[in-house]
Amino acid sequence: MEFNFTVTGGDFISAGHASSEVKKVLQKLNVDPKITRRIVVALYEAEVNIVAHAYSGTIKASIDTEKITLVLDDEGPGIPSIEQAMQEGFSTASEKVREMGFGAGMGLPNMSKNADELNITSDVNKGTRVEIITWLNNKAKA
Amino acid sequence: MTVNDIITKLNLSVLGGEQGLKKEISGAYTCDLLSDVMGNVDDGNIWITLQTHKNVMAIASLRDLSAVILVKGLQPDADMLEKANEEGIPVLSTNEQAFEISGKLFQLIHS
Ligand SMILES: Nc1ncnc2c1ncn2[C@@H]1O[C@H](COP(=O)(O)OP(=O)(O)O)[C@@H](O)[C@H]1O
Ligand SMILES: [Mg+2]
């Protein structure tokens, strides 16, 4: 099964749409609610990062019997140091974004806590690719 | 304890999401940082916050929260209310600040 979404930078009104659709699909597939929750937390943070930090992006969700693979590709400023970005509390979010309660620098840490596998690659001034993989049954969890 | 039970006891007003007033409450979380709520809240919690925009309801829905309480008499944005009604998650209001209402709710839940 495959689902595709587009994300527009700065569009906080629609932020979370892909996460909500993916959650509905996982619920229909009777995935363990605890696993669904981890997937949703990681995807939401990745989705919001495109809205808050990039210009535009796409999300591809591929689901098979074993796992869900989420690939988020954006066009944007990229991340100069992924290691630094992964640190809890590090954020380059604008004042406006912080006032909304985003920009606490907890998004990437939330993603790594909740994903079974998290791969991030980024080209400065081009964009960022985030891949989140989560196994759908406890036994297969890496 | 349901959302309805605490509305009378804490003298809250209901601003939207009335379909969800019978939801069971599992506890509460007081915070204005969205990622902290997203990552740490428990299913069925009430979320106490001063944030009044639509993303609050996106998180409340994604994390299956039972209701949102806005502090200090703050009013939700129109699209936040719309989403609350769509999702059936109550948005409640108090004139008290976060510490006061959190303390009262804590006592209610733990007594
Ligand atoms: N898709 C992205 N494009 C560009 N920069 C990003 C992206 N995702 C994350 N970053 C950078 O990593 C930092 C940390 O991200 P995160 O932990 O989600 O915290 P926050 O979004 O609250 O700033 C961001 O402030 C930003 O500098
Ligand atoms: Mg973020």
pLDDT grade, residue A139 (50/70/90)?
low
Higher pLDDT, A138 or B106: B106
Closest CA to A70 of A9, A12, A5: A5
CB A129 within 8 A of CB A71: yes
Share of chain A above pLDDT 70, in %: 97
Domain ranges of chain B: 3-109
Looking at this predicted complex, what is its ipTM?
A: 0.94
Task: With a cut of 80, say whether residue A131 has pLDDT above it.
Answer: yes
Q: Give chain A positions within 8 Å (CB) of B61.
A: 20
Q: SS3 of A105, please?
A: coil
Alpha carbons B85 and B18: distance in angstroms, whole number: 7
C-alpha distances in Å from residue A39, one per residue of A67, A87, A136, A137, B34: 11, 20, 9, 12, 17
pLDDT at site A107: 97
A90 CA closest ligand 1 atom index: 14
Domain ranges of chain A: 2-135
Task: With a cut of 70, say whether residue A7 has pLDDT above it.
Answer: yes
* Number of other residues whose CB lies within 10 A of the CB of residue B13: 12
**What architecture is domain A2-135?**
2-Layer Sandwich (3.30)
Nearest-CA distance A10 → chain B (Å): 13
Kindly determine whether residue B34 and residue A102, on different chains, have CB atoms separated by under 8 Å.
yes
pLDDT at site A66: 96
A98 and chain B in contact, CB less than 8 A: no
Pick among 3.20.20.70, 2.30.40.10, 3.40.50.970, 3.40.1390.20: CATH of B3-109: 3.40.1390.20
Q: Give chain A positions within 8 Å (CB) of B59.
A: 16, 44
Alpha carbons A61 and A1: distance in angstroms, whole number: 8
Kindly determine whether residue A45 and residue B38, on different chains, have CB atoms separated by under 8 Å.
yes
pLDDT at site A142: 47
**E strands, A9-140, in order:** 56-63, 67-75, 117-123, 127-135
Task: With a cut of 80, say whether residue A26 has pLDDT above it.
Answer: yes
Task: With a cut of 60, say whether residue A141 has pLDDT above it.
Answer: no
pLDDT digits (tens, 9 = 90+) for A60-98: 999 999 999 999 999 999 999 999 999 999 999 999 999
pLDDT digits (tens, 9 = 90+) for B36-81: 999 999 999 999 999 999 999 999 999 999 999 999 999 999 999 9
